[in-house]
Structure 1
């Protein structure tokens, strides 16, 4: 399949506009804190949400709004999570009502999201006062501003777009996301919004989203904390005019899933790379497992290990920490079959064979591990199951960032 990177972010697909402004939720006036994505054409919508028992009010409202499988807009604020607030549902509902009125659409056609500090009251005033400006900011070049509007501790924008074909018809897909801390597998994702001009029935869009999120966003961990506001939303407005994808057994559906997987993998890797205080992206690939489920568990176990993450920060080839993390994985396998190697742009080196140490050059290993992207390859030598997980190193700065996050 010919998937090509393009510009434009969430505005790359036909029919989408986006924008972002500073409305006053944040004290820092140089940072945008309110974002909007809009399609005049009604969209099929699919979402996944945090698995934390404590959920932000916007998730509750969004779940109600997308029950009919359609939406036309996404509004998101940063600087305040609107979580654990007595009037949180009221505020999230008002955000949808204000957006709907300003766009001339039903409030139920609006997906609402929030991100930031938990447990702080969120005033509707700055959002209400900024709504007209926000709508006026909508543009087919507005993806970058919208991306900035959803960022919190992120150090760079997560914004991507691709072109591909479905049934031979040119199609596009775009994404913006935020995520740097409070990120851990088995939740859904951080905040990620994907747009596409592909025509697909809602049930298959949701099926594709569930499948792809399981192998991408759920394979990311920065710090072991599952957020309260995680949400992934995909809007598909059908403006590419491809034959509507209506069968999971079709080539068209597989082409769509491949494109969605591609862009979600890009976002996932960059969220892990931008982990709070991180200096290195860790990519752990497990092969040779007896099945995919075990491969996923092992890969996540390794990238979640604080001791291993600290070793990677120090460029220390402490492979014993990899074996330790594999060993406490909740799965059945033979540890005496396991091989481990490290790799980066500086080369590769085997450090463990059949579950035991082997001679290797510490100097070469150090050189490999000083790079900013490290691959950890684990061969279980027990079958055909494989999986990849993404994480980051654990640094002094992670504690500094989270020691005074509110202040």
Structure 2
């Protein structure tokens, strides 16, 4: 796990050399921002991770192909309300048209523009509105673009850190959207990170992929992986710090710690804002055979519908936790598993302990519930985040289309 004690979150602000806009284009409900862009003043190193869903959406495929050419971007155009997924050749052409229109507006190369969409699967983008929307976008330094990608989100997800690299102040700022269909394997989950650090594109890709595995890929709301998941990072180097070219560079560890904290904070905010959710659930696993197995166990626990429902009902039913552990492929010493919920030890050596049931139930009424597990089979660890399963989740998703 990445140590983040060297960096702390700060108030949201854009790094040097970025601007954005978010507008209402009329794609979805009225009086809601649903279209926007994010732009760097200069070409930036870029990296991305993408959904593993076989029905990968047209904008996701286009952005992946664009970044993979030379790991550079300068702008991303994005919308909510319409995912442009499962839309065939017309959907692919619409994504290409968006890319072309944005490149012409900004006067930059076509291959420096990414495209991102989220919302209802199966609907074609209304290209007359898209064309008009691109014309209306103008440079701002507010946070409206972070609101333009929201669907069922109750609020935008934002995170920012500042670090010192080569004596220069470097800012790493990210935003994300996601509330339902969240089980990333990189739901409708989108994440965007900007930084004024300078870093080689291939190194940025390697760093992003590693850190997404322990942050965004360790959250779950409902076990569903969307067709549109994507996390994109842009690094334009405008802070003036020495450019990172290797993991051996003196400032690489602090940059990685900063990036990790931003990704982790955004991931936690998505989990906490799960559709219908009333609380964030965090699971910390220690004593695992490997970090991969620790992550597997942690994510299985926060993803269990029985565990999620028990947490909603404030029921300290540790049997649902231990049975979930037993269903994983991880190494488990079945006679030596320990479980705590909100600091209350309920299981030791795989046997239930006497504890104050009412106090435990009351503690689960907080807006965050922490489950700690020790598997006692190694020295590795894992962490994951999810939310409770409520009546409102069913209500929201029973009528999402209508």
TM range, normalised to the smaller chain?
over 0.9
Q: Is 2:124 the partner of 1:125? A: no
Query: Any gaps of 5 or more consecutive residues in structure 1?
Result: none
Compute the displacement of 1:234 (Å): 0.1
Is the counterpart of residue 325 in structure 1 residue 308 in structure 2? no
In the alignment, the residues of structure 2 paired with residue 24 and residue 107 of structure 1 have an alpha-carbon distance, to the nearest angstrom, of 26
Matches of 1:97 and 1:52 in 2, distance apart? 26
* Distance in 2 separating the partners of 1:331 and 1:323: 13
2-structure distance, mates of 1:60, 1:70: 16
1:112 to 115, 120, 140: 115
CA deviation vs aligned residue, 1:101-125 (integer Å, no higher than 9, x gap): 1111122210100000001121211
| 1:163–1:13 distance in 2 versus 1, CA, 3 Å | same
Give the number of equivalent residue pairs. Answer: 396
Alpha-carbon offset, residue 259 of structure 1:
0.4
Q: Which residue pairs with 1:37 in the alignment?
A: 38
The farther-off stretch of 187-196 and 315-324 is 187-196
Aligned to 2:388: 393
Q: Structure 1 399/188 Cα, relative in aligned 2: closer, same or farther at 3 Å?
A: closer
Runs of 4+ off more than 6 Å: none
* Selected match of 2:371 from 372, 376, 379: 376
Cross-structure match for 1:89: 92
Runs (5+) with no aligned partner, structure 2: none
Q: Look up the match of 2:61.
A: 60
* Matched residue, 2:52: 51
The reply on whether 1:308 has 2:276 as its aligned counterpart is: no
1:37-93 CA distance string (max 9 Å, x none): 001111000000001111000012112222121110011110000001121110000
The corresponding residue for 2:286 is: 287
* Correspondence for 1:72: 74
SS at match of 2:335: helix
What's the counterpart of residue 174 of structure 2?
Answer: 175
Paired with 2:206 and 2:255, the residues of 1 have a C-alpha distance of 11
- Tell whether the 8 Å contact from 1:198 to 1:237 is kept in structure 2 after alignment: yes
TM-score (norm: length of structure 1): 0.95
Q: Which range moves more in the overlay, 258-267 or 102-111?
A: 102-111
Q: 8 Å contact 1:184–1:220 — kept in the other structure?
A: yes
The aligned residue for residue 25 of structure 2 is: 23
Deviations 1:212-241 (A, max 9, x none): 000000000000000100000000000011
CA distance in 1, matches of 2:187, 2:287: 26
What is the root-mean-square deviation in Å for CA atoms of aligned residues?
A: 1.3
Q: 1:187 to 1:63 in 2, by over 3 A?
A: closer
Superposed CA deviations along residues 275-295 of structure 1, whole A, max 9, x for unmatched, are 000001000000111221111
2:249 equivalent to 1:245: no
1:5 matched to 2:4? The reply is no
